[in-house]
Structures are given as structure tokens and as C-alpha cells.
A and B are shown apart, each in its own frame.
Chain A
Amino acid sequence: MVSLLIVAHSAQLAEGVREFASHAVRGTVHILAAGGAIDGSLGTNVDQIRGKLQEAMSPDGTLVLVDFNSAVMSVEAALEGLQGIVVEISDAPLVEGTFLAAVEASVGASLAETAAAALRARSLVKVRHD
């Protein structure tokens, strides 16, 4: 099964998104969270991300969901030196994308299918004016 890694600039943000998505799929998907800088302040931590990538490692791959683009750079830095790990970084909105990805992963979707489901979050309508 595809696993998910949430990378955000706040540990609480990453953990909150992880909690929500995990709850939605009743704990059936391996979802990890990495957030905050080394000193606990806002930011990202390449070593922590690398550790979580290794922990998340699945033969079917890992989809990484991020809050902002500097998190992408941290993930890319964390991936340097890691071998035999199948990872895709998603450009989806963090909360909705993680939710949709988790549901898709939970039914046994491939990494490509899970990544596509996450990206659909870009067009998810939440506010209706009627």
C-alpha cells in the first residue's frame, strides 16, 4: 500500500493533517508527519524528513504532501543519499490533498493513482452560494 508523508512548517500543522486523514481512513494507511525546525521553531528539518521518509518506505511508494515550496526543497535535500525509495512530491493543497490521497491509498491505489487523487483537491469546491 502507498504511504503518505506530510511535511509542513509547523509540527502541529503536520500532525493535525495526519490525524485528520488517518481518522478518515480509520487508520488503514501508513501516514507520517514531519514539521518544525530542529529547535522546535517554525520551519522544516531535513534530517527529520529523511528519517520519516525511511520510516514511511513502502514497496508501493510514498506520496509526500507539503504546505509551501520551501518544504519541497527540504524534501529534495532529504532524498539525496537515500536509495531504493520510491517517492513522489505532490503539488496538491495540503489538507484536502492529503485526505483524498489517503482515501485512494486505502483502497489499494498505485502511487500514480494516489498522486492524481491528491491533485484533484485543487478543484474541490467547498463553498456553495445557494
Chain B
Amino acid sequence: MTETTLTITHPHGLHARPAADLYRKTREFRSAITFRNLSRPESPEVTASVFNLLQLGIVCGHRIRIRAEGEDEREAISALDLLARHELCKG
């Protein structure tokens, strides 16, 4: 299992287009990929879907964790971490 955690600094949090981009990126890999909003302890670990990502209530300042398990988990986390940092962790 490989994971990354990052803090969202985009003023709109995880909004529609980055959620779509992240989900679309997960589909390029075979690993099982999950997301969790660590800043909402009651929020569950969810499988990758754009609906689930929008339901995590991720706003500016929240810390999220992305996990992957499978044959290409390192590549998946590397790509998702890069994409998330580029779109959601500016400034």
C-alpha cells in the first residue's frame, strides 16, 4: 500500500473540475484507490468516484489522504499527488 497526504490550499477546496480530473486520473491505473478527508474525522474512506470526492466536504485548509493498493500503486500515487498539488495546493 502506498499513500500520500496533502493540504488543500485552493480557496474553493476540492471543487468540480479538480474532482473530475482526479477521478479521471485514478482510472488510468489498475490499483484500488481511496480518498479520505483527514480533517473530518467522521468522514469515511471512499473509493474513487467524482460523486464520492465531492461528498468529502474538502475545503481550503483540509488535509486529505490518497491511498493506492495494487501493482501500479506507486505510479498511481505519484501521478495523483502531482495532479492534486498542481490543481489544489497552489500558493
Interchain CA distance A104-B23 in the complex, whole Å: 9
Q: Which of B17, B49, B55 contacts A24 (CB 8 A)?
A: B17
B1 to chain A, nearest CB (A): 23
Please, which residues of chain A bring their CB within 8 A of the CB of B57? 128, 130
Q: Is the interface of B mostly helix, strand, loop or mixed?
A: helix
Does B12 make an interface contact (CB < 8 A)? Answer: no
Q: CB within 8 Å of B: which of A11-31? A: 23-25
Q: Are A124 and B20 in contact (CB under 8 A)?
A: no
Please, which residues of chain B bring their CB within 8 A of the CB of A121? 51
In this complex, the interface size class of chain B, counting residues with CB under 8 Å from chain A, is 10 to 19
Given contacts A23-B17, A24-B16, contact A100 B27 (CB under 8 A): no
Q: Are B16 and A124 in contact (CB under 8 A)?
A: no
Closest to A117 in B: B51
Given contacts A106-B24, A107-B24, A107-B27, contact A99 B16 (CB under 8 A): yes
A93 to chain B, nearest CB (A): 13
Q: Are A25 and B51 in contact (CB under 8 A)?
A: no
Please, which residues of chain A bring their CB within 8 A of the CB of B27? 107-108
Q: CB within 8 Å of A: which of B28-76? A: 49-51, 54-55, 57
Q: Are B24 and A120 in contact (CB under 8 A)?
A: no
Given contacts A24-B16, A100-B50, contact A124 B55 (CB under 8 A): yes
9 example contacts (A-B, Cβ-Cβ < 8 A) are as follows: A24-B17, A24-B20, A99-B16, A100-B51, A103-B20, A106-B24, A108-B27, A121-B51, A124-B54
Which residues of B line the A interface, CB within 8 A?
A: 16-17, 20, 23-24, 27, 49-51, 54-55, 57
Which residues of A line the B interface, CB within 8 A?
A: 23-25, 99-100, 102-104, 106-108, 117, 120-121, 124-125, 128, 130
